Amino acid sequence: MKDFNYYAPTEVVFGENSEEQVACLVSKYGGHRVLVHYGGKSAIKSGLLEKICGLLADAGIKYFKLGGVVPNPRLSLVHEGIALCRREGIDFILAIGGGSVIDSSKAIAYGVPYDGEVWDFYLGKAEPECCLPVASVLTIPAAGSEMSEASVITNEDGGVKLGYSNDMSRPKFAIMNPRRTFTLPPYQTAAGVTDMMMHTMERYFTHDDDMTLTDAIAESVLRTMKDCVFAVLKNPEDYRNRAQIMWGGSVAHNGLTGCGISDDWATHQLEHELSGMFDVTHGAGLAVIWPSWARYVYKENVSRFVRFAVNVMDVPNDFTDPEGTALKGIEATERFFRSIGMPTTIHELIGREITDSEIKEMVRKCSRGGSQSTGCFKVLHAADMEAIYNMAR
């Protein structure tokens, strides 16, 4: 097992009516003037936004609302949020929503105390010295941003989607009431489960050895998510299984499934170009990329893919044909994605044939003009990226 630091400072308040504690938690973490940041309509429609604002008001906490965060959250709204926070002297950001709202909140939090352009952090041109505290009331289990150090923002100018990670933005608390996820459409439910499985798999496919416990946790997360998703697609109001999925999303991305290993993230890097260019759902994009990535790289460590096939996808182990077993595991994963309504080709994802020049543009962005590689299980250069996009088309 490799040496590691495990840092997961977020206070998780999980369960029925957990949102009742919001004002108390905001005060505990020093919030007096709060930006309540939210998305398009779900938090309004469900009454959650009104409830949270009422609880803050009852506790004498001043709040300001900024809605309109869209999936693949935009830099322009981040700028608007920064201006609002400065104007109103806001000292705490409360996200009500999913990964997009939380990521937008983190970007605003970096930008408020910074004199320069917040996008510089995402471009790797600057590092923040501090940021405002952020917390969330989670409404969709998926991105894991409620406990992660990452924020992913799309700059509309050129459709450039970039992530920036810094421990200082890890949320102070995450309120998670599984009942609040009953209203999720099947596609978002399935894309969310795909994303959390991929957060686990990006770490699971490694060449490192001797991490029995980390492997067992990862396989357990994967098997649990795989089983529970069918139950909630059948019955969206299944609290028990919604709860497993909600906690699974956090466990998959709070670092626990990565302790002691080197992680990969190539599928995520390749996907971010798809959702940056075509504004598609991140989890669905991952379902499209992963099978092609897997077929492209599995020979780097066939036994790892065999282990995944057998322990996660229930493929019988054919000891005489490890490659065959590995490939059956990839096929079974692809079948699983389809069975929960995810696309598995770019054509299905964007609704038309992708052009060669669009693929070249994604490769250019992903490889930063050919200067940067991605991945660890197999290091991918521009030509590898192009091959994987072509396999997925």
Q: Based on the shown chain and the rule CB under 6 A, indicate whether residue 81 belongs to the binding site for ligand NZQ.
A: no
Interface positions, 256-295, toward ligand NZQ (CB under 6 A): 268, 275, 282-283
Q: Which residues contact 328 (CB under 8 A, 6 or more apart)?
A: 309, 313, 315
Site track for ligand NZQ across 40-59, x = CB under 6 A: xxxx----------------
Rounded-to-10 torsion of CA 43, 27, 104, 196: -70
Q: Is the separation of the CB atoms in 25 and 175 below 8 Å? A: yes
Comparing CB distances to Zn ion, the nearer of 195 and 264 is: 195
Q: Which residues contact 384 (CB under 8 A, 6 or more apart)?
A: 296, 378
Q: Are strands 150-155 and 160-165 parallel, antiparallel or unpaired?
A: antiparallel
Exposed, middle or buried, 331 (CB in 10 Å: 0-12/13-18/19+)?
A: middle
Among 146, 195, 202, 263, the residue binding Zn ion under the rule CB under 5 A is 195
Per CB under 5 A, which region of 101-109, 190-198, 217-225, 335-343 contacts Zn ion? 190-198
Write down the least CB distance from residue 106 to Zn ion, Å: 15
Interface positions, 199-258, toward ligand NZQ (CB under 6 A): 253
As a whole number of angstroms, the distance between CA 256 and CA 2 comes to 14
Using CB under 6 A, count the residues that bind ligand NZQ. Answer: 35
Among 49, 61, 142, 376, the residue binding ligand NZQ under the rule CB under 6 A is 142
Six-digit token pair at 69? Answer: 């965060």
Q: How many CA atoms lie within 13 A of 145 on its CB side?
A: 32
Comparing CB distances to ligand NZQ, the nearer of 275 and 373 is: 275
Q: Is the separation of the CB atoms in 290 and 198 below 8 Å? A: yes
Comparing CB distances to ligand NZQ, the nearer of 326 and 340 is: 340
Comparing CB distances to ligand NZQ, the nearer of 165 and 355 is: 165
| 118 three-class SS | coil
Q: Based on the shown chain and the rule CB under 6 A, indicate whether residue 177 belongs to the binding site for ligand NZQ.
A: no
Find which of ligand NZQ, Zn ion, none residue 41 binds, CB within 5 to 8 Å per kind: ligand NZQ
Per CB under 5 A, which region of 22-30, 106-114, 188-196, 225-233 contacts Zn ion? 188-196
**Sequence-ordered alpha helix ranges (H) in the chain:** 22-28, 42-45, 48-58, 75-88, 99-111, 119-123, 186-204, 212-234, 239-251, 266-278, 282-297, 302-311, 322-339, 346-350, 356-366, 382-392
Per CB under 6 A, which region of 51-59, 176-184, 310-318, 346-354 contacts ligand NZQ? 176-184
Q: Is the separation of the CB atoms in 144 and 249 below 8 Å? A: yes
Write down the least CB distance from residue 270 to Zn ion, Å: 12
Comparing CB distances to Zn ion, the nearer of 150 and 315 is: 150
- Which parts of this chain interact with ligand NZQ (CB under 6 A)? 39-43, 71-72, 97-101, 103, 139-140, 142-145, 148, 150-152, 180-181, 183-184, 188, 192, 195, 253, 268, 275, 282-283
- Which parts of this chain interact with Zn ion (CB under 5 A)? 195
